[in-house]
Structure 1
Amino acid sequence: MDFQPTQEQRDLRAGVRELLARRYGREALRAAVDAPAGSGTGGGTAAAAVDRELWRELGEAGFFALRLPEADGGVGLGLAETVLVFEEAGRALLPGPLVATHLAAGTVPGAALGTAVVTAFDLVGAGGEGVGGAAVTGGALVAHLGEADAVLGSAVPPAALLRRGEPVRSADPLTPLHRVPAPAPAPVPAPADGAAAGRPDGRAAAFRDVGALLTAALQLGSALRTLELAVRHAKEREQFGQPIGAFQAVKHLCAGMLVRAELARTAVYAAAVTADPAEIAGAKVLADETAVGNARDCLQVYGGMGFTWEADVHLHLKRAWLRAQQWRTADEAEGLLADDLLATATP
C-alpha cells in the first residue's frame, strides 16, 4: 500500500503554498507583528490579526469548505487533503481561528465562504469548558474573540462574551486572548467524513478529534518551517572561515530536527487516513512536542540573533506553545491513548 500523497494532493499543497506566499509572505507577517499595539480589537495588546480580505480569499479558494460535500457547496475532499492544507497554513504562521472556522463550515452562515470568522472554546486547558465538554474551572480563554462573528460551542454572541470577559496577555503577538465566564453547553455540529460513526462518546468528542488533528497539522507545518530556517542559516552563517553547518554540534541539532519532524509527519498523515481517535491523540502529542522542540533547536542554531524580535523563530515558538493547549492538551491526549491501550489489552 502506497501512503505517499497523490499527484492531486501534491498539486493542492503547492497551490495553497503559492497562495499563502503571495498573500501572506514574510513581509505581511512582520507587518502584522509590528503593527502598533492596541490598533485592533483583540484585547488591547495586539493589532487585528485576522485579515478579512485574506480570510474571504481563503474561503473562495475552498480552504474552509474542503470537507463539505459538493452538494452543499463544498469541495468534497477528506481529512487527508485538509491536513495537507493546514500544514501549509502552519508553515506560513497564518493567524486566526482557522480550525474553528473550518469546523463551522456548513453550520455557521458565511464560515465556508470566509465571510465570517468563527472562534471556539478550544483552549481546553485554560479553564471553563471547551468544545466537547472538557470540564475545567475558572472561566475559559477564547482566541480572537474580538474579531469573531460567532463562537462555536456557545449560544452567546461574541459581543456579549466580550463585554463579560477581560483581555489576557498572550504569548503570541498574533493571537489575542480573552478570559470569559464558562460557557453554557451548546450542541456542536456533526463532523464531516462520518468521524462520529461508532463513537461511544458521541459527536462532541469526534468534533474535538478533528480539531486536534488539524491543530497537529498546523504544528507540523511550523516544525517543518523552523527546520528549513535552521538549515538555511547553518549554510549561510560563517564562523572561522566556514559555514556553521560544518560543525558537528550544529549538524546534530539539524539532524535531530529532521528526525523529529518526519516522525510527526508520519503520525499526522496516518491519523488523517484512519481518523482513529487514539492515533489522532498520538499525532497531537508528537506534533506539539515537535513544533516546540524544533523552534527551540532553531533558536540554538541561530545563536544570539535567534532571540531577537527581528528573527521569526520566536513567533513559531510562541504559536507552538499556544497550540499545544488547543483542542487536546498533552495530558488529555495521553489519557486517551492510555484508555485505548487498556481497552485493547483487556480480554
Structure 2
Amino acid sequence: MDFQLTEDQRALRDGTRELLAGRFGRDRLRAAVDDPALDRAGWRELAAAGFFALRLPEPDGGVGLGLPEVVLVFEEAGRALLPGPLAACELLAGVVDGVATGERIVALADAATDPLLWEHPADCDTLILLGDPQGADPVHQGRESGAYRSAADDLVCAPFASVDPLTPLARITDIAHPVPLSLDAPRLRREAALLTAAQQLGSASRTVEMAVAYAGEREQFGAPIGSFQAIKHLCAQMLVRAEIARSAVYAAAVTGGDLDVTGAKLLADAAAVRNARDCLQVHGGMGFTWEADVHLHLKRAWLRAERWGGAAEAEEALAAGLIT
C-alpha cells in the first residue's frame, strides 16, 4: 500500500498554499492582528475556491473530496495562520445554508467544555452547540445529548480575553431558543479535533521553516548562527516533532478512528507549541518583539491546544485504550 501523496493531493496542497499566499499574505495577517474582524469579502473568496465545500458532493455544488484532502487544506491554513471558524464552516457546510458559499459564517462549540467559548462572536451568524448531559454548565445542564442550533442574537455572552489576537472569544452564559438538530455529535467532535490538529501541524511546519531561515541569516562571531551545534540540534528536534505529528495526522485522516485522532491531536498540539517556543529561542531577542510573527504562532498554538481535547484528556483516553 502506497501512503505517499498522490499527484492530485500534492496539487491541492500546493494550490492552497499559493491561494493563501496571494489572499492572506503577511500584510493581511498583520492587518488582522490590528483588526480581528473577519474580512467577509475574503471569506467569500475562500468559499468560491471550494474551501468550505471540499466534502460536499459535486451535484450539490461541492468538490467531492475526502477527509485526507481536507486535512491537507487545513494544514496549509494553519501554516498561514488563517483566522476564523474554519473547521466549523467545513464540517457544517451541508447543514447550514449559505456556509458553503461564504454568505454565512457558523461557529461550533462543545458544551462539555467549561468555560463554553464562542470564537469570533462578532462575525458568526449561527452557533451549533454539541450538547453533553454530563456537563455542569447551566447552558446545557439537563438537556439531551446531541446538537443544538442557535442564532447569534439568542446567545447571552460575557467578555473573555483571548491569548490569540487573531481569535476573539466570548463566554456563552445562556442560550435563549436552542433548536435541536439531528447530527452525529461524536463524529463532529472527532473531525473538529482532527482539523484542529491539521492546523497545528501546519503551524509546526511553518515555525521550522522560520527558524531555519533566520538561523541562516543571523550572524554571530562572523558566522551564521545555524552553523552552531546548539542551533542545529534545536532545528533538528523541531523537524522531528513536525514529521512525527504529520504521520499521525495523515494516518488519522485515513482511519478516522477515535484513538487515532486523539493521538494525532496530542502530537500536533505538542509539536505546534514546542516548535513555536523553540523558534522563538532561535530568534533570540528578536523573537520577543511584536513585529516578529513567532509570537502569533505560539499564541495560536496555545489556544488550539485547549480546543477539542486538551493534553490531559487525550492522555487519559489513550491510556484507557491501551487497557481495554
Tell me how far 1:34 sits from its aligned partner. Answer: 2.9
Give the counterpart letter for 1:102 in structure 2. Answer: E
Secondary structure, in 3 states, of the residue corresponding to 2:164?
Answer: coil
Q: 1:182 to 1:328 in 2, by over 3 A?
A: farther
Aligned to 1:114: 102
Aligned to 1:9: 9
2-structure distance, mates of 1:300, 1:187: 48
2-structure distance, mates of 1:10, 1:253: 28
Which of 150, 167, 180 is equivalent to 1:175?
167
1:149 correspondence with 2:125: yes
**1:34-183 correspondence to structure 2 within 5 Å:** 34-35=34-35, 47-48=36-37, 50-122=38-110, 129=111, 134=112, 136-137=113-114, 139-153=115-129, 154-161=148-155, 164-181=156-173
Asked if the contact 1:97/1:144 (under 8 Å) is kept, the reply is yes
**1:286-305 correspondence to structure 2 within 5 Å:** 286-305=267-286
Asked if the contact 1:66/1:77 (under 8 Å) is kept, the reply is yes
- Would you say how many aligned residue pairs link Structure 1 and Structure 2? 305
Residue segments in structure 1 that go unaligned for 5+ positions in a row: 36-46, 123-128, 191-202
Aligned to 2:26: 26
CA offsets, 1:62-104, max 9 Å, x none? 1111111223221110010000000000000000000011111
CA offsets, 1:197-221, max 9 Å, x none? xxxxxx2111100000000000000
Aligned to 2:192: 211
Q: 1:314 to 1:237 in 2, by over 3 A?
A: same
2-structure distance, mates of 1:243, 1:186: 60
Q: Which region of structure 1 is more displaced relative to structure 2, 69-78 or 92-101? A: 69-78
* TM-score when normalising by structure 2: 0.90
Give the counterpart letter for 1:176 in structure 2. Answer: P
Q: 1:185 to 1:204 in 2, by over 3 A?
A: farther
1-structure distance, mates of 2:320, 2:180: 25
What is the percent sequence identity of the aligned residues?
62
**1:273-288 correspondence to structure 2 within 5 Å:** 273-288=254-269
Secondary structure, in 3 states, of the residue corresponding to 1:114?
Answer: coil
Aligned to 1:43: none
Instruction: Tell me which protein shows more strand as a share of its residues.
Output: 2
2-structure distance, mates of 1:185, 1:220: 34
Tell me how far 1:32 sits from its aligned partner. Answer: 1.5
Tell me how far 1:160 sits from its aligned partner. Answer: 2.6
Tell me how far 1:188 sits from its aligned partner. Answer: 5.3
1-structure distance, mates of 2:196, 2:277: 19
1-structure distance, mates of 2:46, 2:250: 23
Tell me how far 1:334 sits from its aligned partner. Answer: 2.2
Residue segments in structure 2 that go unaligned for 5+ positions in a row: 130-147
Tell me how far 1:300 sits from its aligned partner. Answer: 0.3
CA offsets, 1:279-320, max 9 Å, x none? 000000000000000000000000001000000000000000
2-structure distance, mates of 1:298, 1:336: 30
Asked if the contact 1:140/1:182 (under 8 Å) is kept, the reply is no
**1:310-329 correspondence to structure 2 within 5 Å:** 310-329=291-310
Secondary structure, in 3 states, of the residue corresponding to 1:178?
Answer: strand
2-structure distance, mates of 1:112, 1:224: 28
Asked if the contact 1:87/1:221 (under 8 Å) is kept, the reply is yes
Q: 1:9 to 1:249 in 2, by over 3 A?
A: same
* TM-score when normalising by structure 1: 0.85
Q: 1:189 to 1:335 in 2, by over 3 A?
A: farther
2-structure distance, mates of 1:205, 1:336: 14
2-structure distance, mates of 1:155, 1:97: 16
Give the counterpart letter for 2:169 in structure 1. Answer: L
Secondary structure, in 3 states, of the residue corresponding to 1:151?
Answer: strand
Which of 242, 248, 266 is equivalent to 2:229?
248
